[in-house]
A = this chain, B = another copy of it.
Amino acid sequence: MRARDLLAPFPTVTFDTPVIEAARLLADQDLPGLIVVDDRGLPSSILPGTQVLRLAVPGYCQDDPTLARVVDEQHADVFLTSLAGRTVREALPVERRELPVTDPEATVLELAALMARTHSPLVAVVSGDRLLGAVTLQALVDGLLAP
């Protein structure tokens, strides 16, 4: 079994997609994360769902649990309002890390190691200059355990 056998089409966003729209895509399609593509349609960044959340959390709350605690439920609106108008570009992390991207020939072991190492529940599959789709954690585990 190779990546080509496990991949499925996967929706993408661009740098200009509003963050709120990206969050809705994640929620509506029950996605484990998002693929951000560049002008050529190739993966430029891949955000696990937990890191999409990061886009929505004010910096002063990221690392201080006590500050996050004092923002009560009446301020959840503020939380969402703060997203309005922000695009994926503005919200992307600055650091560059290994992207969970591979080719159709990747083995299941390679896919598992890549997901584990990058903490990403999805891996984009690229052939030449074309994004073929993605292998999700769920598809990989299902494939591995299939009789």
Q: Which A residues are closer than 8 A to B by beta carbons? A: 1-2, 23-24, 26-27, 30, 32, 48-51, 53-54, 56-58, 61-63, 65, 68-69, 71-73, 75-76, 79-80, 106-110, 112-121, 137-138, 140-142, 144-145
For the complex, give the distance between the alpha carbons of A24 and B146 in Å.
10
Is the pair B50, A144 in contact by a Cβ cutoff of 8 Å? no
Q: For residue A32, which residues in chain B have a CB less than 8 angstroms away from its CB?
A: 32, 121
| Partner among B54, B75, B113, B121 whose Cβ is within 8 Å of the Cβ of A57 | B113
Known A27-B138, A30-B138, A49-B121; judge A109-B76 contact (CB<8 A).
Answer: yes
For the complex, give the distance between the alpha carbons of A138 and B26 in Å.
8
Q: For residue A108, which residues in chain B have a CB less than 8 angstroms away from its CB?
A: 73, 76, 79
| Partner among B48, B51, B72, B113 whose Cβ is within 8 Å of the Cβ of A68 | B113
